[in-house]
Structure 1
């Protein structure tokens, strides 16, 4: 919303008989600047009723009413977003709507919400650049997230690197001897048993990492 500029001139409201009067002309020159200041102050108060049009004074007033305590390093835009989030932190909230709120305040996917329903945990994965604001983010989440969920903060980093490992190999030879039994029937009456041995060689390889 652009600021409305009004040319304040009190002489427009003078009766025709007073327009050319020197006394009233001097009076208008003295009063017009004061009325212009009054108009600017009223317009400023009007703009401060809109969150995204707040100036520093308006932001301080809202923060006082909402019991917010901004950091010294917070920009005016950041303060506006925190105020808006506080106003909009009314239940019920969904996972998706809360994620959209965080995206609007802290940037797209700078704070990711994940829920572990079986453990009753809500994880807020925060980028490294916003870790200093983790307390403020948790305070915002505590207003929105149900009280039976624990609010936990994490910071995930994806790193690509190579891992080197050494291997040692040992070879063992095991020899197993199993008896082989054969039966041979001759002439239908005599039974001869012949025993022989078979040798089976097996190799077992064990690989162990160091």
Structure 2
């Protein structure tokens, strides 16, 4: 919504050449351009995708989302959209779809035990940074009568056996257990 602002054009031609009117019009043009920029920002802040930093902070306050200091503006917008896309009532498919959005298709496992009213959710190490978001999601959408068992999927022997002892000896037990393993990291 960019409009060219020129107040002097609204005056009759005979008044357009007077120095005082030119000065007033130029000063008011600057004020109106600033007002237009503020209006554009306010309009953009109504929509998450086009929000400014201020708009994202406002959305987070409305939705009671605590931003992490390391999150970029795009990540913060993603968290807002994820919260807005939550749909109640709870269903297994809806929860799986939301977990896939937060962690990626391969970033979680979800099992439901109907007899014991238990929901078992495991988050992959690659999506470890989203663990708190997953926990908050489960607290919001899973019914109170369903017990939630949430934890990380740590590296196990089956994953580590692909590497030689020489490759693994450079790492601590904690690193081997809690860091995502890929061929690039453990090249020995």
TM range (shorter): 0.7 to 0.9
In structure 2, how many angstroms separate the alpha carbons of the residues matched to 1:161 and 1:17? Answer: 89
Bigger strand fraction? 1
* TM superposition score normalised by structure 2: 0.73
Q: Highest CA radius of gyration, 1 or 2?
A: 1
140 and 47 in structure 1: CA distance in 2 versus 1, 3 angstrom threshold? same
Matched, 1:63 2:60: yes
In structure 2, how many angstroms separate the alpha carbons of the residues matched to 1:33 and 1:135? Answer: 46
In structure 1, how many angstroms separate the alpha carbons of the residues matched to 2:121 and 2:99? Answer: 10
Displacement after TM superposition at 1:73 (Å): 1.0
Asked if the contact 2:90/2:143 (under 8 Å) is kept, the reply is no
Alignment of 1:1-210 (within 5 A): 4-156=1-153, 157=155, 159=159, 161=161
Asked if the contact 1:51/1:83 (under 8 Å) is kept, the reply is yes
Cα deviation code 1:98-154 (max 9, x no counterpart): 222233344333234332222222222212133243222111122112221122223
Q: CA RMSD in A?
A: 2.2
Asked if the contact 2:99/2:108 (under 8 Å) is kept, the reply is yes
136 and 42 in structure 1: CA distance in 2 versus 1, 3 angstrom threshold? same
Displacement after TM superposition at 1:23 (Å): 1.5
Segments of structure 2 that go 5 or more residues without pairing to the other structure are 163-188
- Secondary structure at the counterpart of residue 122 of structure 1: strand
91 and 46 in structure 1: CA distance in 2 versus 1, 3 angstrom threshold? same
Cα deviation code 1:12-45 (max 9, x no counterpart): 3223442222221111211212211111111111
In structure 2, how many angstroms separate the alpha carbons of the residues matched to 1:106 and 1:7? Answer: 46
* TM superposition score normalised by structure 1: 0.66
More divergent stretch after superposition (39-48 vs 51-60)? 51-60
13 and 102 in structure 1: CA distance in 2 versus 1, 3 angstrom threshold? farther
